[in-house]
Amino acid sequence: MPLDVPFGTALDVSVVVPTYNEAGNIHELLHRIGAAMASAGLSAEVIFADDSTDHTCEVIEDAAGSSPLPVVLHHRAEPTGGLGGAVVEGIGRSAAPWIVVIDADLQHPPELVPELLARGRSTGAELVVASRYAAGGSRSGLAGAYRTLVSGVSTAVTKSLFPRALRGLTDPMSGFFAIRREAVDRAATGEDGLQPLGYKILLELAVRCRPAGITEVPYAFGERHAGESKSTVREGLRFLRHLVTLRTADPRARVAVFGLIGLSGFVPNLALLWLLNGPGGMHYAPAEIIANQAGLLWNFLLVDSLLYRLRRSHRRRSVRLLTFAAVGNADLVARLPLAALFIAWGGLDPVPATAVSMVVVFAGRFLLVDRWLYRRRGARATSEPVRVETPLPDPTP
């Protein structure tokens, strides 16, 4: 029979473990989690959200047979959203009021799980983070100076971009934390829901859930027990994209980034104009029209891939590009009559009239792109969690 915990069973904590080719760590991880729960008198389940391409699933099934804790295995056919996506799917299959997220490589000590829960219960905080940077913590397990530097820089950049949401949090890049279910539910039913990208799920939860109270427990980041690190250049680039997505969830930030992207479009515009209109080149007017399309294409690529990454699914890419180009070209046509109107009716001089017309046209272009071309499709529907996808042996005699 499936090793499962029905809804309504009194659990203290669901331990969610995202895995990708971690076969060498599973037996030791389950043993240490089970021992930690038993010593603290806690009732727990362990949920593996697996994206592995090796035999990790088979090892989990084998280890579950001797585990004192209920084990849920969810193998994802498509690893959407990376390890962060796996965590979200694992959370969706959990049943306890507290959820702990922990890596499978044993760099996060499972013995700390009871302390995370105790700190949350004693302080009333909805998010408890195991921190390498809090007093008494250590990041000695980071492999080499390069990873240490990347971790420090990433932490500093992230905290500077989200000073309010991450206030009091020294380690927003931690992959080891406990969060109350109520906080997760608020984000899951919100405007955009949870949209993880890459492996830094804590940032997603802290920004979108806005937990009522954050506290930390220091810990020493250990060395990997087995396997290889999943921290790659590709994951780093995905993390940067995720930072932009989270930061621009605020409409005011979207306006600013939209304007900066528009300004950056002058670079390809002017470069192509210089090539087309140089000695022996074409006339300025057609050259400027062509060059303007290069700027618009540049702007579209940045807007589409960074600013509105989560709002692209309801229109084909070709339709988005053509619509964006039409809006961008229309503002050239609109600026001249608007400026003339401000001069004739408003009594403005040409320079301020032109400036005002540019502001009006920019605002109109942003609203058309933001509210129509990339309009939200509404809150994401939430579904009832599926408890067990892979049958596991019953350890009871």
pLDDT above 90: residue 119: yes
Choose the weakest-confidence range: 51-60, 118-127, 155-164.
155-164
Taking residues 374-381, report their average pLDDT. Answer: 57
Q: Work out the burial of residue 175: count CB atoms within 10 Å of its CB; fewer than 13 is exposed, 13-18 middle, 19 or more buried.
A: buried
Q: Per mean pLDDT, which of 17-21, 257-261, 268-272, 328-332 is the most reliable?
A: 17-21
Residue 41 has pLDDT above 70, yes or no: yes
Q: Are 127 and 214 contacting, i.e. CB atoms less than 8 angstroms apart?
A: yes
pLDDT at 127 over 80: yes
Query: Which pLDDT score, from 0 to 100, does residue 387 have?
Result: 38
Is the CB of residue 230 less than 8 Å from the CB of residue 103?
Answer: no
Give the tens place of pLDDT for each residue, 128-170: 999 988 887 776 655 455 555 656 666 777 766 776 777 778 8
- Mean per-residue pLDDT for 363-373? 85
Read off the pLDDT of each residue in 271-283 and give the average, rounded to a whole number: 82
Between 107-111, 176-180, 302-306, 376-380, the lowest mean confidence (pLDDT) is in 376-380
Average pLDDT taken over every residue of the chain: 78
- Check whether 117 has a pLDDT greater than 60: yes
Distance, CA of 2 to CA of 139 (rounded, Å): 39
**pTM for this structure?**
0.63
Range scoring the smallest mean pLDDT among 127-131, 161-165, 203-207, 297-301? 161-165
Nearest to residue 63, comparing CAs of 99, 107, 19, 102?
Answer: 19
Nearest to 307, CA basis, from 247, 363, 250, 245? 245
Residue 223 is predicted with a pLDDT of 57
Please state which CATH number belongs to domain 13-228: 3.90.550.10
